[in-house]
Amino acid sequence: MAVGREWLGAEHPAVRCLAIGVAIHHGRLPGPFLREVEALLAAGVLRVTVASPTLAQGLNLNAAVLLIPNLYRAGTLISGEEFANVAGRAGRAFVDLEGLVIHVMHQPEDWRHQRWRELVTSAKARSLSSGIIVVVNEVIRRLSTSGVFAREDAMDYLSNTQGAWFPDAVEGDQESDSIESLIERLDATVLGLIEALDAESADLPRLLDEALVGSLWSRQIARLDVLEKQKQLWILVSRAQLIWNKTTIEQRKGQFAMGVGLESGLAIDAIATELTELLDLGDAAALLGNVEALTDALSGMGDKLLAIRPFVPDDPLPANWKDLLSAWIRGEDVAVIGQEGMRVVDDAFVYRLVWAIEAVRMNRRINGGESEMLVEGAAAACLEAGLPSNAMAMLVRAGLPSRVAAKTVVEQMAPDFTTRAEMKTWLRSAAVEAFDGVPNWPTLETRSIWQQFRRDVLSSVDGKWASQEWTMQWPSRSAFPMRVEIDPQSGQVSVATPDFVQLTTIRQKLQAESPSLLEVEPLPDGTSVIIRRIGRGEARWTGHDV
């Protein structure tokens, strides 16, 4: 509840429901809060869960009883496939042979009964449909309203004219997806199918055909009539040729890496120089904790990127969006920002702008550019966490579910870590350990949260390997090569010949995670050596100075 109050505010329904033992789970709730909720669900503390469609999209949660109050979403009846996926969550392993799936009808009318029966029946007779066919068919339907298929040069027209792909919407037609969204998905399909992004345009029909051989798309399209087959192929080939006609090899690689379509990729490329300059300014400010410079850089990127699909927010940005961005980056309480403001923060900043910034960074890398920053991605990390420095954001990303604790700790102690290994070493230091006995630190409400976080990080095993080396004094009479051995219990380091004849021991002990590799190399002066280690996590010497 403390985490929820900090990230959502005390009056948020998801926080208030916790007080009566009810969990609310939705994909757009803050990650730190969802992690805490999922831990409570796994432990069986919360017995009732109100969930969005995340329940059908991979949330590892089972229930004895599943209540379904609505059969429609956005005015459309949910599909049999989705219903079957959700219904499969009912029934707890090793507890219930069967779960109960119940439709709640506050007004038990006949048509509601009928819809429920139809849904249950459709769930038992699910059919698998190629996602490519679904997208292409919908694109064909939209394009047909513009009369493009009546042209004798339809394929050439589509292959060379971007505007031809975006017909005006038909009045009164209720569409679940915009034409822009459909074309973006079509572009992702094309770029995903054609691995050779440096291929010639003339080879595209063959490459697409080869990529689809044996696919669900090819098996299902074989059952269509000749004209429908031709339209499917026309759309894929003509869109591919348009992309090739309008882009360079590097631009195509960039669009694929960014996960955007042709139009978005070209729009980003047109202002790439300005964006990367702002990105570097933002990363530099985040490393220094310069909140004014960081806010200016993020606002500049927001001005440019939040106007480009797919980074355009669901709702228009309010006039004071830059003030909201500044408040969020400074780490202000969500109660000060307000519920309406937090909707803007969640959608426009934490989701859209972070995605856009990472896309710009990836685009630069694909095109051979490199940042001069010691740490890339610091600005995006600060934006995601709602904090003014990279060190604070790293603590949150590492699992600390409190912005208040992260901000307080870093402001008071001013650590200089930039990697997870350095952060772990700092958390283990005597300076941090000394605060264990200080009451109400970092704050009264976050004391237990901070201590639990520190215990979790220090007990975790880092999967990433690191390279380290140390210079030590060494008698010149020693023979090389040598074998370095570490006692796993005591950390005592000994040096032996290749056939395990011990030569000496080192006074310092080495605390290191397994596995690791060590070697000794003599230096030209004949009195010292370099000990190198490559292994999991960061090792550290204890005892006398190395």
Residue 92 sits in a domain of what CATH number? 3.40.50.300
CA dihedral (254, 260, 263, 268) positive or negative: negative
Number of domains in the chain: 4
Is residue 221 located within the same domain as residue 287?
no
Q: At what angle do helices 204-212 and 179-193 cross, to 10 degrees?
A: 90
| Residue 172 within a domain | yes
Q: Are strands 540-542 and 65-68 parallel, antiparallel or unpaired?
A: unpaired
Average the pLDDT over 85-113 and give the result: 74
Q: Are strands 492-496 and 483-486 parallel, antiparallel or unpaired?
A: antiparallel
Q: How far apart are the C-alpha atoms of 287 and 364, rounded to whole Å?
A: 20
Is residue 95 located within the same domain as residue 155?
no
Is residue 199 located within the same domain as residue 312?
no
Is residue 67 located within the same domain as residue 140?
no
For the ranges 44-48, 109-113, 218-222, 419-423, which has the lowest average pLDDT? 218-222
For the ranges 154-163, 446-455, 483-492, which has the lowest average pLDDT? 483-492
Residue 94 has pLDDT above 60, yes or no: no
Q: What is the pLDDT of residues 374-425, one digit of tens each?
A: 678 899 999 999 999 999 999 999 889 999 999 999 999 999 888 887 888 8
Band the pLDDT of 478: cuts 50, 70, 90. Answer: low
Q: Which two tokens stand for residue 370?
A: 């490199």
Expressed as residue numbers, the domain containing 489 is 465-542
Is residue 393 located within the same domain as residue 513?
no
| Residue 280 within a domain | yes
Q: How far apart are the C-alpha atoms of 92 and 525, rounded to whole Å?
A: 69
For the ranges 61-65, 211-215, 475-479, which has the lowest average pLDDT? 475-479
Show Cβ contacts of residue 81 under 8 Å, excluding neighbours closer than 6 positions.
123, 126
Q: What does pTM read for this prediction?
A: 0.73
Is residue 221 located within the same domain as residue 356?
no
Q: What is the pLDDT of residues 61-82, one digit of tens each?
A: 667 788 888 888 777 778 777 7
Assess contact for 484 and 498: CB atoms under 8 A: no
Q: Are strands 502-511 and 540-542 parallel, antiparallel or unpaired?
A: antiparallel
Assess contact for 380 and 305: CB atoms under 8 A: no
Q: Which two tokens stand for residue 232?
A: 């499917």
| Residue 263 within a domain | no
Distance between first and last Cα of the chain: 46
Is residue 327 located within the same domain as residue 307?
yes
Report DSSP letters for 263-321, one per residue: HHHHHHHHTHHHHHHHHHHHHHHHHHT-HHHHHHHHHHHHHHHTTSTTSS-SSPPPTTH
Is residue 474 located within the same domain as residue 350?
no
Q: Are strands 72-73 and 76-77 parallel, antiparallel or unpaired?
A: antiparallel
Residue 171 has pLDDT above 60, yes or no: no
Q: How far apart are the C-alpha atoms of 542 and 546, rounded to whole Å?
A: 9
| Residue 252 within a domain | no
Is residue 177 located within the same domain as residue 222?
yes
Q: How far apart are the C-alpha atoms of 235 and 345, rounded to whole Å?
A: 38
Altogether, the residues listed in the chain come to a count of 546
Among 135-144, 202-211, 389-398, 484-493, the range with the most confident prediction by mean pLDDT is: 389-398
| Residue 334 within a domain | yes
Is residue 203 located within the same domain as residue 118?
no
Is residue 371 located within the same domain as residue 508?
no
**8-state DSSP, 469:** E
Is residue 478 located within the same domain as residue 386?
no
> What pLDDT score was predicted for residue 526?
74
Average the pLDDT over 179-187 and give the result: 87
Assess contact for 46 and 21: CB atoms under 8 A: yes
| Residue 257 within a domain | no
Bridge-partner residues for 48, per DSSP? 22
